[in-house]
Amino acid sequence: MRIRVLKSKIHRATVTEANLDYYGSITIDRHLMELAGLMENEVVLVANMSNGTRHETYVIPGPAHSGVICSNGAAAHLVNAGDEVIIMAWAEMEQQQAINFKPAVIMVDKKNQPVENLPV
């Protein structure tokens, strides 16, 4: 049996910008993407800790070490600059493989710089 598990997350990132006039996605600092194992165009779930909304979108890379977290397109109605979000990605694997799998958890400070990586 295959199951879907948390692959990685960027925890409590601060949204730096919301850009309604973009065709869609979330821009994430390329360095944070690498730490979290996120690929360009990968689907993520964004949970907004500030207002409780959740939405699914795809990742586009922003400049490395910039701290950028920008909600683009229609999702900009759900996320405002200054909101804290959790960005999560999933993986499908066999149930037996999932027993020992540890997701990447990237903790960031208020400027979206990594502070520590912890297993869930």
Residues taking part in catalysis: 25, 58
* Residues with Cβ within 8 Å of residue 81, at least 6 apart in sequence: 15, 16, 17, 18
CA distance readout (Å), 74 to 42, 47, 55, 78, 91? 18, 15, 10, 8, 25
